[in-house]
Structure 1
């Protein structure tokens, strides 16, 4: 980010622009310049060709680091050489790129050549500003009329510049209550701190205008790698909760068994992310950017679509056979079967064949429309860090439609999406997940009818007390959940999923090659919810 300072009013006579043609610096043999030679347009400086050539020669010598040659073209060579060298070297400017404009002449004969300076500050970025080179004619020759202001309009006998580089330690990031999130206690966050602080992982620094006597800062000329409007040294506040974040990292470390896994916890009432954790803690942020088939956790969305159009009720009998063939053979986990089961029982036991048998109740685009309209899946989210926001493609054929009913096929999600789906099912209202309080929200959704919400909550509670999420049954509170087992390929074990809601918090966890949700993700969420029995304020 650069800042072009406001020009100070000159006390000299008004200047007249001769032309508006911009030209670039050119180097001639031996460093000498002549009007009309090289790439310069002879007409652009027709009134003062020698003055224009001298200004360009001065700027080119400066940009090339020939400070003695540049200084020799001025009215005060010794002073000029010292200032040019200290300004360029002291601010770690690698090689100035100086582009001249057209000559300006005042009524009193004074000549100036405006220029644009692009100053690449080593390792930080480019500082851009504009200034003018004044020239004076004496004894038939033009000289640069030396003044500090020609180097930069704010450089003076009273003010100079100072380059400040921030150290390479992680940017300061705090949780919702102001507690620092920098440290070993929150290993999953350390790769994300720069992103959350708005620095994009780049070095940070600034060029300050300071008083030559007191050293006090009077202004900032340029900032690099810092979030616009954010002052250096101030912590970036997030929506995270330190207790939940620490517990999430500890749960993955203790229960993931060395497998790739991730989890997310969000507030149900507003979508704020309370914890986001990955195992391993370095590298790819699979919790928010991963692309997984959500498996049977997606049955929350499928059930919503069916309930919305009154295609079923929880008490509708939907048989659950071991196998069902729709282009290919589908089966239940461990080939379980429940003859005469109700839809509630099918949900509790995560019966694939029962859900697939209901595919004719929904149009090809209906599940995707429900996912987008009510759950915000597939809309553009602005979380505050990079995220993948889900995809629910229209099925290409009946086999793919059957797979989509159970969260397979080409449906893709991640723990952030499924935590949000769980939160929406619990409250009826989608809230875009955010990790920064000021994150933009461009989503547009419709609230689920409360009758649908009530049915989903009951079925998710029954899944804990009597169904596949029984791993959470011993925990206090009104916990509802849904397990998921997602096929990856014929050669790899299934991914295990579990989503749950308790109080004002919704959580989601995936374990790669975890085989079953209850067996792999279950212990992780049990550990997490045991460690943080209270909802965050």
Structure 2
């Protein structure tokens, strides 16, 4: 289980409603953007390319939901992170497109970079406006000079934006068998109903500029006209017919109940999906209201990511399950890495390193992989980092190329800048079990633009064997008393200095893969284990 030394911990986003969750995530990708790269049009060359590069990198991070990284490029990181998240989430903006168009020198030797913002408001349309980024030099480093006005010219300490939505009838939402999903038994699904507006019930909405103190409207910033084709454009059924999902009412009820009973005061979420086609059977969050962290959260996946790391190593025959890979208590790669409770397993095989979740053993194998290889394997075989069309907004993962050896060491154990969530890790588990990636979906008929390569049968067999051993003899023994040939992997992921670790557990039984994260859960087996044990006890071995 992943636990890093406290001597230097990976960066972490601020705590909004929950520890370690980045709010409203688009397709995540790491690393700074150089001038002229990323989703930006070429503009006039600024007087100082470094200033323009910093501005463009800020826009790239913002557009991809990397609020902490964007904020770190400003003169006020804490305030910038808070505002960028609340602005994007509060206005229900999905995957903003920010394009730098020009740069000019200012009188105070700074640089001013103009940009166009195209903000898709979920279910309504795109809000387009222009603004600019002031950039100034601080101690030899260019920084975006933070102010509310750079987010939007009318945003200020006195005025903010509010999205107004007219009341419309909520369509009937049903599961894969036609059973209704409305009611108190499905609290995690309530926030999603706005995404299932039927044709003819599409709302007419506006973004208003309001006084922060009084709440009075100062002006209407933009309106979104009703369009007859909006419901159909979102791939949903129209007329009086109910909206059908891939969810299974039995699994959803069990997921909600398991979280309510065992998450206790922690924030937690889980996903269950079919291995053979990626259809989501259950999607639950605790607390149920608010941000859908199960599909849109961004977490370090911790040692559950060793499924991907193992795949990369096995694919190139860098190791076999029987290869001896020593597991010492500590290993220094620019900083000290250690195992949970500083455990060690001398002369351990790679299979035992996997089932005991040995960090130092995996880190010692980092030179077996090229810097970009882990990300390439994640994208090519597991679809992580490609754009997924789940049917609702989702974060589809990020595996940046490490910037140095320390970051590469961290990435081997699912830390550093790797980002995932239960949807991604349930899919990774399903792919490892079957050898084939299937884009997860919650709305039947969602388009699929992914392109992946099947894992070799030999690699799949090795992964399944090691995951099974993790249940029978390793860190996932909490599931050992359940029927069926369950395979699993635990994870413990550090988040920030002074905060408890997040606990992870992924598992596969029959045709279902599940993933659960418990924020500040300390260990995966101890926190996520009881939740998944309860879920798998309450449901059949395989869904219909």
C-alpha separation in 2, matches of 1:440 and 1:455:
32
C-alpha separation in 2, matches of 1:486 and 1:282:
24
1:186 maps to which residue? 186
Deviation at 1:396, TM superposition (A): 0.3
CA distance change for structure 1 residues 509 and 399 in 2, over 3 Å: closer, same or farther? same
1:25-46 Cα offsets, whole Å, 9 max, x none, are xxxxxxxxxxxxxxxxxxxxxx
1:173 maps to which residue? 173
Q: 2:439 aligns with which of 428, 432, 438?
A: 432
Alignment of 1:370 with 2:377, yes or no, is yes
Q: 1:381 aligns with which of 371, 383, 388?
A: 388
C-alpha contact 2:362 2:413 (8 A) present in aligned 1: yes
1:343 maps to which residue? 350
C-alpha separation in 2, matches of 1:226 and 1:459:
45
1:249 maps to which residue? 256
Q: 1:356 aligns with which of 348, 356, 363?
A: 363
Deviation at 1:224, TM superposition (A): 8.0
1:258-280 Cα offsets, whole Å, 9 max, x none, are 21100000100000000000011
Q: 2:309 aligns with which of 278, 302, 307?
A: 302
Deviation at 1:196, TM superposition (A): 3.6
**3-state SS of the aligned residue for 1:188?**
helix
1:263 maps to which residue? 270
CA distance change for structure 1 residues 370 and 253 in 2, over 3 Å: closer, same or farther? same
After superposition, residues 141-152 of structure 1 pair within 5 angstroms as none
**3-state SS of the aligned residue for 2:460?**
helix
1:323 maps to which residue? 330
C-alpha contact 1:194 1:200 (8 A) present in aligned 2: no
**3-state SS of the aligned residue for 1:330?**
strand
2:91 maps to which residue? none
After superposition, residues 133-532 of structure 1 pair within 5 angstroms as 168-197=168-197, 203=203, 223=228, 226-228=231-233, 230-532=237-539
Deviation at 1:430, TM superposition (A): 0.2
1:310-356 Cα offsets, whole Å, 9 max, x none, are 00000000000010000000000111100010000000000000000
Deviation at 1:253, TM superposition (A): 0.3
CA distance change for structure 1 residues 200 and 516 in 2, over 3 Å: closer, same or farther? farther
1:78 maps to which residue? none
1:210-236 Cα offsets, whole Å, 9 max, x none, are xxxxxxxxxxx9748644574333111
1:35 maps to which residue? none
TM-score under structure 1 length normalisation: 0.65
Q: Identify the structure with bigger relative contact order (alpha carbons < 8 Å, sequence gap 6+).
A: 2
CA distance change for structure 1 residues 528 and 204 in 2, over 3 Å: closer, same or farther? farther
2:541 maps to which residue? 534
C-alpha separation in 2, matches of 1:504 and 1:172:
28
C-alpha separation in 2, matches of 1:125 and 1:410:
33
**3-state SS of the aligned residue for 1:409?**
coil
Deviation at 1:169, TM superposition (A): 4.9
**3-state SS of the aligned residue for 2:497?**
coil
Deviation at 1:193, TM superposition (A): 1.9
Task: Please give the root-mean-square deviation of Cα atoms over the aligned residues, in Å.
Answer: 2.3
TM-score under structure 2 length normalisation: 0.64
C-alpha separation in 2, matches of 1:200 and 1:499:
41
Deviation at 1:490, TM superposition (A): 2.0
1:235-271 Cα offsets, whole Å, 9 max, x none, are 1111110000110011100000121100000100000
Q: Report the number of matched residues.
A: 361
C-alpha contact 2:388 2:450 (8 A) present in aligned 1: yes
1:456-482 Cα offsets, whole Å, 9 max, x none, are 000000000000000000000000000
C-alpha separation in 1, matches of 2:523 and 2:386:
29
Unmatched runs of 5 consecutive residues or more in structure 1? 1-123, 127-165, 206-220
Deviation beyond 2 Å, 4+ runs, structure 1: 166-170, 196-205, 221-233
C-alpha contact 1:171 1:194 (8 A) present in aligned 2: no
CA distance change for structure 1 residues 494 and 222 in 2, over 3 Å: closer, same or farther? closer
1:255-307 Cα offsets, whole Å, 9 max, x none, are 00121100000100000000000011111000000000000000000000000
C-alpha separation in 2, matches of 1:230 and 1:240:
16
C-alpha separation in 2, matches of 1:257 and 1:461:
28
**3-state SS of the aligned residue for 2:187?**
coil
CA distance change for structure 1 residues 481 and 222 in 2, over 3 Å: closer, same or farther? closer
C-alpha contact 1:188 1:281 (8 A) present in aligned 2: yes
Deviation at 1:489, TM superposition (A): 1.2
